[in-house]
Amino acid sequence: MQNHLAELRKSRGLSAAEMAELAGLTRQAIYAIEAGAYMPNTAVSLRLARILGTNVEEMFSLEDEPEEVLTTEFEALDAESPPVAGEPIQICKIGRSTIGVAASSSVAWLPMADGIVEKPRRALLASPVEVENRVLIAGCDPALSLLAAHALKAGVEVVLASENSARSIELLHAGKAHVAGVHPGMNAPESGFAAVNFACWREGLAVRQGNPKSIRSVADLARRNVTFVNREPGSGAQRLLAQELARAGVSLSAIHSLPEPATTHLAAALRVAEGKADCCVVASSAARRFGLEFIPLSEERFNLVVRKRDLKLKPIEILLDVLNRTRLRRQLETIAGYDVSRAGTTVL
């Protein structure tokens, strides 16, 4: 605390005794205040300020304190490809582990993040992070962001890690995720885990409005004038493509694809919307997001898998309860085009 009372008093030509008389205090009290041995209450401070023709802030002010540097050690989701220095990151606690998740990015806005990566395994935080009510969900469904928004209103903050089904199950088993979003049949969880239906969705071919290349089935992907967007190995979209190509008798090598696969449904759909490719296999929600025409290939459930022992955790209870809320269901139906008739029901 910086004390300017003596300086101000002397500049006004007042002795300590005169100041004491005007303020209704003793001279000793004035000296004590000036020495910082006694802090006056609000009424006395206002009287002193009035006598000196100033304000309380001019008499007493807080010293500039060095800004506290907040850091935390974290474990990356992928030890072989951790977030790089300067990358925005979110922090989540799973058991005794502190997990760092690269914040989801947008081409238009800076992502919500707790801080940035300072160096491998350490993050520089903007402010203290409350992790008690956070749930880390690994999954690829674009509509998980809608679940996260409704969960936040219920008091649970969801940290989303964009991962395909196979990778999501791996993270769940490794203790790096609370919840894994998966397609049934892809690395089905073992005993000790429960699966709750999020929604039933359709996957299919997405093309630009008007379908300029007249693509009707996966067989058309083998045409020379068609460019396709692959998804990464382990994704449900790539599995579905392989199944449909086998049925049509078409080899994957016969398809002209972009050199780099897309790592999410939205990323694949965006490449088609931007004209970088003619077609991709995505969830209907991704096609809707960019106004693409959609040709259904399959309909299946998308489940949220969680350890049975974690079902009693309050944040998990709240998260699963949110699946039964009418407003979320309406958004999933309207915005994503999903069937939510079984949402919230245990399927395993």
The DSSP result for 90-141, as a single string, is: EEEEETTEEEEEEPP--SSSPPP-SEEEEETTEEEESS----TTEEEEEE--
pLDDT of residue 110: 82
Per-residue pLDDT in tens (0 to 9) along the chain, 348 residues? 678 888 898 998 999 899 899 999 888 888 888 877 778 888 888 999 999 999 888 888 766 555 567 899 999 998 888 889 999 999 999 999 999 999 876 657 788 899 999 998 999 999 888 888 999 999 999 999 999 999 999 999 999 999 998 899 999 999 999 999 998 765 555 689 999 999 999 999 999 999 999 999 999 999 999 999 999 888 889 999 999 999 999 999 999 999 999 989 999 999 999 999 999 999 999 999 999 999 999 998 999 999 999 999 999 999 999 999 999 999 999 999 999 999 999 886
Q: Are residues 14 and 87 in the same domain?
A: no
In terms of domains, do 207 and 337 share one? yes
Verify that 73 and 204 share a domain, yes or no: no
Phi, psi of 72 (to 5 degrees): -150, 145
Q: What per-residue confidence (pLDDT) applies to 187?
A: 53
Q: For residue 191, give every residue at least 6 positions away whose Cβ sits within 8 Å of its Cβ, in sequence order, or none.
A: none
- Which of 61, 77, 102 is a domain's end point? 61
Question: Does 35 share its domain with 137?
Answer: no
Collect all residues with Cβ–Cβ distance below 8 Å to 169 and sequence separation of at least 6. Answer: 180, 182, 186, 187, 189, 305
User: Whole-angstrom Cα distance, residue 260 to residue 196?
Assistant: 33
Task: State pTM to two decimals.
Answer: 0.76
Coil, helix or strand at residue 69: coil
Q: Check whether residue 114 and residue 157 sit in a common domain.
A: no
Q: Is 312 exposed, middle or buried (0-12, 13-18, 19+ CB in 10 A)?
A: exposed
Q: How many angstroms separate the Cα of 93 from the Cα of each of 11, 134, 193, 194, 312?
A: 57, 8, 20, 21, 16
254 and 311, same domain (yes or no) = yes
Neighbour count for residue 173 (Cβ, 10 Å): 15
Domain boundary at 61, 84, 109, which?
A: 61
Same domain, 175 and 120: no
CATH code: domain of residue 288: 3.40.190.290
* Structural domain ending residue among the three candidates 44, 61, 78: 61
- For residues 141 and 256, membership in a common domain is answered with yes
285: left (phi over 0), alpha (psi -120 to 50) or beta: alpha
Judge if 97 and 142 occupy the same domain: no
**Pair of tokens at residue 35:** 């020495």
CATH number at residue 48: 1.10.260.40
- 148 and 273 in a single domain? The answer is yes
Q: Name the residue range of residue 11's domain.
A: 2-61
Structural domains counted in the chain: 3
Query: Contact 207/273 with Cβ under 8 angstroms?
Result: no
Query: Which two three-digit tokens encode residue 322?
Result: 């949110």
Same domain, 207 and 262: yes
pLDDT in the model for residue 112: 85
User: Are residues 33 and 84 both part of a single domain?
Assistant: no
